[in-house]
Structure 1
Amino acid sequence: MNARHIFLALALFACQPALAQQVEIRSGEHPDYSRLVFETDTPQGWTLGRGPDGYLLRFDNRALRLDLGDVFDRIPRSRLTDAALVAPGLVSLRIGQNAHVEAFELRPGLLVLDFRTGPAPENSPFETALQSAADTPAEEEVPPAPVEPVRPDAPSAVDIAAQSPSPSPEPPPVRLPIDLGLKSGLNPSAGMKPPAAMVEKMLEPEIPPAETDPRVAAMRSELMKQIGRATAQGLLEPAIDLPTQPDPGTAETVSNTQDALPDPDQRAEENGQAKTQVAEDHTPSDWRNMRVETSMDRGLDILSEDSTLATDGTRCLSDDNFDVIGWGGDRAPGDLLAEKRSALLDMRDATDPSGVIGLARAYIAMGFGAEARAVLAVTATETPVVPLLREMAAIVDTGQANHPELFDSQISCPTRAALWAALARPKLGDLSDFNRTALLQSFSELPIHLRRHLGPRLAERFLAAGDQATALQIRNAVARTGAKGQTTDLTIVEAQIELARGSNARADRKLDEVLASGGSGTPDALALRIETGLNRGQAPSEDALALAESLAFERRGTASGTRLLTLAIRGHGARGDFETAFAMLAHHGLEGQTELSSELLGELARRGSDEEFMREVYLGALTLPDLSADSTARLAVADRLTAMGFQDRAATVLQPLAPQGTPRERLVRARLALAQGSAGEAQQYIAGIDTPEANSLRALIAQRQGDLKSAADYLGAVGDAEAQSAMAWRARDWNGVESLGDPNQRAFVKTRRDREPADLTMEPSLAVARDALGTSEIMRERLRALLDRPGTQP
């Protein structure tokens, strides 16, 4: 078979109608936009424009299968409020108020729609009304298609049927300029909804050709110059294996045959395809005739050969680099190690690099990460796959990679690399683009012992990232292994899942189950139990704290031991035993941990007794030279010292704190300044703060300055009527006392106002004298009632 026959076969194969394929639809929420991704195996033509309720997205291939049921699992209904399939290949996108969409192809076959808040940019190509391609309503009468005259040189009907397997086309539907939304033939049960009524234009809008940017022209010229130089130096080779154009004679025969067939637009519409002008589009749709490769790519030959890309365009690592089952993960360890060790040396008793890699992979498949790294280090093997094996061995041994940057962007790959990228870092980052399907599938492929070993740790990371669904699926994948998979680590993960759901009682029962077993999971279960109790405001029991201290001593020098020791110190503080808590803090040298020290100092300032508080201030924690406390803790301690009358010590506590200007800090410094006798400075600190606490402090400042009436007004703004009345009495504000005072005070003010003293300049009379005596007697009674009242202020 010569090359001509091969090219002809390829051309005929390319002309076959496209088969229906499933479109993978993913969604993700970002701070500035909501993203919707349509991914197909092959490039597809598409058009985006304005619709009745937002936008319409039309694919040229109407046979595509689009499932929009999971679109809103990852994004809210804010920018994009609804997405529905209204016709084959036609998607209706309803948007929220003041939102628009921007579309681009990240690569052929990967369409990205970004829904952003705000008006659309000027001259956006997606703001033009898109004509709907919905089916013709049943009530419309479609006129029959005109019968074309048969040409004398046209082939017979039998010959046409033999040459074209396509069924005879139906007459094309009539498109009206106004769609009145009559009865539609769409099936609502199939998830397709008819679009709302809309006015469509009879002609497609004319888009003026865009002017070429001078910078683009300059870049194109420079690129062509560089390509020419590279070709001259032998760095580029032309792609000569592209299919050739058919012969003119063949093309003429095909053209004569197609003249007797229906209109090509009609055939394309009936086959679910759009008319494509292949002759005018010379841009390769899949870019397979071009490959850009650097020296690093050639040296690190571990990338996928099928050009699989992550969402950001990074090439994905090949599945062969993570084939744990293929490395012998399901074989007996003795047989596997014997086979791999025998291949470690070649016939000359020299180290065989392939044998070293095979043995290291076998160790990783069995869960022996340290042994795998030791083999690679001792043999000093350096091949492109060795750095990746070292990181996989570190993940199996320690739970994370030493150089996680090797797995950057791999979490979005549709390969096994997504799983190991999630295991590489102790904390997961943005999960909007991660490939959950590939990750879960790869995890389910792992041997049982690796699922038991890696599953709980991986589930905890997804729980910490807020993805409870993926954590639960990982837990289920481990639980499916049977009794061997039900480990204490898995039970702790189940308890964490229950806590995330808000089922505290179920979580406590699972943790109690682990604690009662006394196994290796006891430290982690105890730490989780104490931590969740502290977060709920519950102080741990003395037995729990004693067990935590003993386990912390056994695991001293480890992350688990430090965690238990920290929780034990927090537990003593929650129980009010500040002397023990601060003593343990100083004994173990943890006073430099800002978060722990600040929490204890804050609790001491709020709930500690005066004796405990003064002991730690003058003899205990605050005398430690390496004590590290944040601003909140120092302000709480200084505020209590000021209230107790120790202004100088309060000023010393605040001395290391740089002024930040927060309302809390200004109030504390104002109270300290007032206690030190600087009323004006205190008033400046709280200027502009309009809170009840600030008004109470203003009342004290006004009282200290002798302005009792203003002090009464500030107390009234706070809502303390009793204190306002007392301050008005002291200020002799009789109008305020008459409206706010108690009955005795109001009676006194009334008597004082009604019984004015007699004018001594006038000639005294017996009636006036008797009236003065009566008034004085009533006034004495009012004053006696006021003096006999408990808590009366002078």
Structure 2
Amino acid sequence: MTRFLACLLLIAGLAAPMAWAAQATVRSGDHGDFTRLVIHLPRPGEWVLEERPGAAVLRIPEGVTGFDLSEVFTRIDRSRIRDVVPGALPSEIVVEFACDCAVRVEDQGGGMLVLDVFGEPKISEVLGHQGRESNATPEPDVTATDLPLFLPHPTAPPGVPDRLDANVQQNAEIGEAVKAAEQRLLEHLGRAAARGVLQPAQRLPTRDPALQPAEPASAAKPVDSSIPLGVLTGTDAAIDAHMRVNGEGLNDTTCLDDVAFAIAGWGAEDFNTGLANWRSQLYGEFDRLRPEAALGLARHYLHYGFGAEARGSLALHEVSQPVLTILSHIVDGGTVAEAGPLTGQAVCDGAVALWAVLALPDGMDRQDVDDKAVVRHFAALPDHLRQRLGPMLARRLMALGYRDAAETVLRRLDLAREEQDADSKMASADISARSGAVDRAQDRRKEVVAKNTTQSPEALAELIVAEIAAGRPITPETADLAAAFAFEHRKSDAADRLAWAESLARAGAGQFGDAFAVLEALPDDNGVARPETIYDLLHDRASDEVFLTQIFPRLETAASLSARTANRLAARLGTLGFHQQAVLVLRGGATGSAGRERRLLRAGNALARGQSRQAEAEILGLSGRDVDALRAQARDMAGNHAVAARIYAALEVQDKAAHAAFLAEDWGTLANAEDPVLAGIARLKTGARDPETGPEGVLTRNRTLLDQSAAMRAMLDRLLSSYPVEGVLQDGQE
């Protein structure tokens, strides 16, 4: 029984790869400008096209045991295609041309290859006329190839001079053909090297035609390569077919074709069936990896939204697949570190525009986007991918300034379900917030928080930030919920962002001690915290006691904040009488309007500490009414009362101008003061007398002197009451 089971397993193992191998059918059709051959393969797979003079060889490395050619010439004549015959291998067919023809192969998907033969010649025919023949090799492995970039002289046919021979100048047509062929060859080599198909084994040697004459044709060395230069692989054709000049793009951009993003057709109808299919094809005979199966498996994963699994399959494929790698990060909902080939493709009319927008990093400034193409190709995605990518796409479009397109994306999502999910509500909140509908956005976020989904922590964080920005307080319950989310996700990628939200919430709730504790526990390179916001809340909302309690241990930190925030903190310290501490906060430099404000604050603090010279030095070179007021105070403090009086008078601060003039004993100016007491004192000091009335006589003069003495006494009393002197007891005081 055991032997029977072993035999069964052996037979099943041998039959598994054979089950996928079968005969391919070739049919034809005439389309006027070209003749088409349609090859129906048993299953999708890689293909290789080798161009030869007057013919082309199509090879299917895997899954084909032969070709049915019985119906090739039932619908076409032999004007372009002379014959189609089997090749040296069962997996090859040879298409013989009856004209100077060009050939093109495209993979139409579903195991159908199309080979078109055109009547006009192309550059490969020029190479053929020069005697360039490909060295056919059996079933090359194109996944990793080392091709030396040393290019020997091509073999020249009889009667045609070598390209380095001086006689080439006598034949302009051949010279131009050689030049064009050489340029095309170098372009193909450069493209292949950039894709990783070619890896230089040595540097290209420098050859001086003047010093090194051309070698005879018989001595020409063949190119040491496992891939003939006339071979076009399925990988090459797929990449070439993806590139096209999009004349309808916003900037005539060279765009990637839709074939590279046909994700809707990459998956089987059933995930498990497709998974089993591709995994069974991963390894062939002798456990040899089949790269095309790894690529198919990766695409199958991408179709169903499994980005990490797709990257695992791509790792098996030795040729880099940058587009598929980018798509794998996008479907996972992650960020793309480098857009690579999708850079600048958002202006295109094809499907690449959709993926280029999704690949943009957060915080990008507005840029040109073909938003209509983005919405159109988004609608063509499978429903499960629309549900996953739609909210992210809507937020990205809104951030780029395309509000209508963002709303259209969300409407398409809403049509497919009865109620918005958390992702869509978050996207809707973002659009509302950017449109100025802050209250509506907050309502959406509150709904997401209440649902307690995976989006709830992010929704709460955005809600707290928006509440603080609107100047509204945060309830202690909200702060506690933020702390719970931060603790729960402390080891996730969102840990720093949620901790910052907790710090904001604590400060908004007036719990500044806890707010600073959370803020200072964040790593220095967190990238999300804005300490100025916490210090601004401390300045605006904390009582004097709380303010001083929290700011005194953090004077060094306060000094390192933005100039605007540091100035505000120093101003409040000065107002509370802590001028020395204010100076510590203001010790750094600043520019612009904040720098001017800082110099004025320093001058005010210097005056408060009795340093008039320091105050004038701080405002040296500045101008303005606020500067003149400080300068007048400094001059007054320094004893230069006359100058201070003139500055005050220019500022129309009459009371201070009169006081400075009084101290300067400028009685002439003071005689016209609005203050009657000071004006009277000035008149007394200058000897001015009120005119006498009544008849002349001793009694009258004495009565006048008594009246003036009483008036002067009253004036002195008013002067003392208006300008009390420290240390002198007032009436009624003991």
Tell me the TM-score normalised to structure 2 length.
0.61
2:322 to 387, 391, 398: 387
Of 596, 620, 637 in structure 2, the residue corresponding to residue 687 of structure 1 is 620
Tell me what 2:421 maps to. Answer: 487
The letter of the residue matching 1:784 is D
Matched-pair contact (CA < 8 Å) for 2:245–2:253: no
Whichever residue aligns with residue 303 of structure 2, its letter is A
Residue matched to 1:209? none
Match of 1:599, as an amino acid?
Answer: T
Query: Are 1:669 and 2:602 matched, yes or no?
Result: yes
Q: Among residues 547, 557, 562, which one is paired with 1:630 in the alignment?
A: 562
Deviation at 1:768, TM superposition (A): 2.8
State the partner residue of 2:435: 501
Corresponding position of 1:697: 630
Amino acid at match of 1:396: V
For 2:91, the equivalent position in structure 1 comes to: none
Which residue number corresponds to residue 777 of structure 1? 710
Aligned pairs (5 A) from 1:325-340 = 325-328=264-267, 331-340=269-278
Q: Which residue of 2 aligns with 1:174?
A: none
Match of 1:41 in 2: none
Q: Of residues 438, 444, 453 in structure 1, which corresponds to 2:373? A: 438
Segment drifting more, 447-456 vs 539-548: 447-456
The counterpart of 1:600, out of the listed 534, 558, 562, is 534
Q: Distance in 1 between the 2:555 and 2:295 partners? A: 57
Provide the secondary structure at the position in 1 that maps to 2:245: coil
Following superposition, the deviation at residue 405 of structure 1 comes to 2.7
Q: Distance in 1 between matches of 2:504 and 2:705?
A: 72
Q: How far, CA to CA, are the matches of 2:349 and 2:559 in structure 1?
A: 50
Could you give the per-residue CA deviations for residues 713-771 of structure 1, whole angstroms, max 9, x where no partner exists?
54455565555555555555567667664566667767888963999xxx994433321
Question: Partner of 1:344 in structure 2?
Answer: 282
Q: Distance in 1 between matches of 2:635 and 2:586?
A: 25
Query: Secondary structure of 1:483's match?
Result: coil
1:317 aligns with 2:243: no
Aligned to 1:768: 701
* Counterpart in the other structure of 1:456: 391
| 1:522 and 2:451 correspond | no
Going from structure 1 to structure 2, the CA distance change for 1:429 and 1:580 (only over 3 Å counts) comes to closer
Shift of 1:387: 2.2
2:301 aligned with 1:363: yes
Alignment partner of 2:359 out of 402, 407, 424: 424
Whether the 8 Å CA contact 1:570–1:596 is kept in 2: the answer is: no
Q: Of residues 449, 466, 471 in structure 1, which corresponds to 2:401? A: 466
In the TM superposition, what whole-angstrom CA distance separates every residue of 1:620-659 from its partner, at most 9, and x where no partner exists?
Answer: 33367x995333333444444455555554444444x246
Aligned-partner Cα distance in 2 for 1:669–1:739: 36
SS at match of 2:530: helix
CA distance in 1, matches of 2:569, 2:333: 42
Return the letter of the residue paired with 1:359. L
Indicate how the Cα distance of structure 1 residues 621 and 324 shifts in structure 2: closer, same or farther if over 3 A, else same.
same
Q: Distance in 1 between matches of 2:643 and 2:543?
A: 35
Equivalent residue, structure 1, for 2:217: none
Instruction: Name the residue aligned to 1:203.
Output: none
- Conserved 8 A contact 2:267-2:301: no
Q: What are the within-5 Å matches in structure 2 for residues 575-654 of structure 1?
A: 575-589=509-523, 596-605=530-539, 608-618=542-552, 620-622=553-555, 629-642=561-574, 644=576, 646-654=578-586
Residues 436 and 231 of structure 1: CA distance in aligned 2, closer, same or farther (over 3 Å): same
1:711 aligns with 2:641: no
Sort the Cα spacing of 1:233 and 1:425 in 2 relative to 1 into closer, same or farther, 3 A: closer
**Could you say which residue in structure 2 is the equivalent of 1:80?**
none
Instruction: Work out the CA distance in 1 between the residues paired with 2:472 and 2:650.
Output: 37
Q: Could you tell me how far apart the structure 1 residues matched to 2:612 and 2:498 are?
A: 48
Relative distance call for 1:334 and 1:569 in structure 2 (3 A) is same
> Match of 1:107?
none
1:510 aligned partner, one-letter code: R
Matched residue type, 2:644: A
Is the 8 Å Cα contact of residues 712 and 725 (structure 1) preserved in structure 2? yes
Task: Say if 2:440 is the partner of 1:511.
Answer: no
RMSD: 4.2
Q: Distance in 2 between matches of 1:362 and 1:673?
A: 74
CA distance in 2 between counterparts of 1:575 and 1:366 reads: 45
Secondary structure of the residue that 2:356 maps to in structure 1? helix
Deviation string, structure 1 residues 271-315 (Cα, Å, up to 9, x no partner): xxxxxxxxxxxxxxxxxxx99974457758425354336656652
Q: Distance in 1 between matches of 2:540 and 2:683?
A: 46
Cα distance in 1 for residues equivalent to 2:724 and 2:454: 64
- Which residue in the other structure is 1:247 paired with? none
Structure 2 counterpart of 1:411, one-letter code = A
Partner SS state of residue 382, structure 1: coil
Question: Does the Cα contact within 8 Å between 2:497 and 2:528 map onto a contact in 1?
Answer: no
Alignment of 1:91-240 (within 5 A): 231-232=178-179, 234-236=181-183
Deviation at 1:708, TM superposition (A): 3.1
Q: Is the 8 A contact 1:755 1:775 kept in 2?
A: no
Contact persistence 2:243–2:254 (CA under 8 A): no
User: Are residues 767 and 532 of structure 1, via their aligned partners in 2, closer, same or farther at CA, if it must alter by over 3 Å?
Assistant: same
Q: What SS class does the counterpart of residue 316 from structure 1 fall into? A: strand
Q: Is the 8 A contact 2:556 2:585 kept in 1?
A: no
Question: Secondary structure of 1:372's partner?
Answer: helix
Instruction: Give the AA of the match of 1:326.
Output: G
Looking at structure 2, the residues matched to 465 and 715 of structure 1 have their Cα atoms a distance apart, in angstroms, of: 54
> Which secondary structure does the structure 2 equivalent of 1:690 belong to?
coil
CA–CA distance in 1 between the matches of 2:526 and 2:285?
Answer: 60
* Closer/same/farther in 2, CA of residues 522 and 734 from structure 1, 3 Å limit: farther
- Which whole-Å CA distance do the structure 2 matches of 1:746 and 1:791 have between them? 18
Equivalent pair of 2:479/2:509 in contact (CA under 8 Å): no
- Secondary structure (helix, strand or coil) at the match of 2:254 reads coil
List runs of 5+ in structure 2 lacking aligned partners.
1-29, 34-170, 198-234, 729-734
Fraction of identical pairs, as percent:
29
Kindly state the Cα deviation for residue 784 of structure 1 after the two structures are TM-superposed.
3.3
Amino acid at match of 1:667: L
The one-letter code of the counterpart of 2:627 is: A
Counterpart residue identity of residue 462, structure 2: L
Whole-angstrom CA distance in 1 between matches of 2:354 and 2:489: 30
Q: Which residue of 1 aligns with 2:47?
A: none
Deviations 1:580-607 (A, max 9, x none): 3222223445698796223333444555
**Match for residue 571 of structure 1?**
505
C-alpha separation in 2, matches of 1:477 and 1:361: 25
Structure 1, unpaired ranges of 5+ = 1-5, 11-223, 239-289
Paired residues of 2:603 and 2:616 also in contact (CA < 8 A): yes
Partner of 1:285: none
Relative distance call for 1:406 and 1:637 in structure 2 (3 A) is same
The CA distance in 1 between the partners of 2:724 and 2:382, in whole Å, is: 80
- Which whole-Å CA distance do the structure 2 matches of 1:391 and 1:373 have between them? 9
- TM-superposed CA distance for 1:574, in Å, is 3.6
AA matched with 1:473 = T
How far does the alpha carbon of each residue in 1:32-73 deviate from its partner, in whole angstroms, 9 at most, with x for none? Answer: xxxxxxxxxxxxxxxxxxxxxxxxxxxxxxxxxxxxxxxxxx
Q: Give the counterpart letter for 2:300 in structure 1.
A: A
**Code of the aligned partner of 1:459:** A
